[in-house]
Amino acid sequence: MPEVTIDDKVVRIADGETILTAAKKAGIWIPTLCCNAALSTNGSCRLCLVELETGNGKRKLVTACNYPVRKDCTVRVSSPAAAGARKGIMELLLARSPDSTELRELAGRMGIHGTPYPTVTESLRSCILCGLCVKVCDEVMGCSAIGFVGRGTGRTIATPFELASDQCIVCGACAAVCPVGTIQIRIHADTGEAEISPFKSKAKLVTCSGCGKRTVAEPLARKTMVDVHIDWDEFRERARLCPECRRKRAAGSLALARDKHF
C-alpha cells in the first residue's frame, strides 16, 4: 500500500486511490466542485490543485480528485504555489458565477471574499462549466439531453439548438448534482408540468392514483417501467402512487399479512 505524506501527515491508501482520498483519511480539507462520487472524475474545475513532489527537488501541481497514487509520495496542500493556484481559480469562478450562494460560501471557507476580474454577461452568468450535469445525464440516466456548446468565453451547456429536448425525461438529476445551483426544477401548477431551467425542457407530472397529488414527470415514470424489468403487477401499481400513499399501501399489506398469519 502506498504511503502518502500530506502536509506532514502520513497516510496509507490502496494502490490507485487518489490524493483526495488520502487527504480525507488524514483529515485535511481540499476544496472541490466537480467531484461527485456517483460520476467519473476529470478534474475540470481545477479547484483541488495540490503540489506534488516528483523527486530531484522538483514539484508540480496536480488535481487531487483524480490523481492516482501508485507509490510513496509527498503532497503539499497548503504550500504557497498550491494555495495561490486555488485562489486564482476561485476568483475566476466568482467572476463566472458571481450570484451563486453556494460558490460564495465555498470561497469564504477558502478565505476568498471577492474577485478582481470583471464578471461575465448576464446571459452566461452562474454556470461554472464543471460538466457534472452533462455526465449524470449521459452516464447515469442514459439520455444525453444536454452537452457543451460553443468555445472560449461563450462556452456554455445547453440542449441541441437550445430548444426543449425530446430526450430529456425531466428527472431532475442535473439539478441534483449542480454544485452552484444554476439548474432549477420549476413546477407550473397551472399546467401540471415540471420544467428543467434553463434548458426549457418540460413534461406533464404523473397524478397519484391514490390521492391525486402530482408526483414525478411522465417521461421518467415511463423510463422506470421500461428499464426496471420486474414482472410484478404490484410494483406497477405502487409506481403510480405518491410516497405517502405508497407507505399507506405497504402498511395495509403488512397488516393483512399479519391477520392471515394469526
By percentage, how much of the chain surpasses pLDDT 70?
90
**Tens digits of residue pLDDT in 189-230:** 999 999 999 999 999 999 888 898 888 899 988 887 776 665
Residue 114: inside a domain: no
Q: Are residues 172 and 248 in the same domain?
A: yes
Q: Are residues 82 and 193 in the same domain?
A: no
Residue 122: inside a domain: no
Q: Are residues 80 and 27 in the same domain?
A: yes
- In angstroms, the CA 48 to CA 5 distance is 17
| Burial class for 132, CB neighbours closer than 10 Å (0-12, 13-18, 19+) | buried
Tell me how far CA of residue 235 lies from CA of 135, 227, 250, in angstroms. 29, 13, 11
Q: How many domains does the chain have?
A: 2
Residues of the domain holding 17: 3-109
**Tens digits of residue pLDDT in 101-131:** 899 999 999 999 999 998 875 555 578 899 9
Q: Are residues 187 and 74 in the same domain?
A: no
Residue 124: inside a domain: no
Q: In this structure, are residues 117 and 92 in contact, taking their beta carbons and an 8 Å threshold?
A: yes
Q: Are residues 45 and 91 in the same domain?
A: yes
- Residue numbers in the chain where pLDDT is lower than 70: 121-125, 227-236, 252-262
| CATH code of the domain containing 71 | 3.10.20.740
Q: What is the pTM of this model?
A: 0.78
Q: For residue 82, what are the contacts with CB-CB under 8 A and spacing of at least 6?
A: 49, 50, 51, 61, 76
Residue 153: inside a domain: yes
Q: Are residues 187 and 235 in the same domain?
A: yes
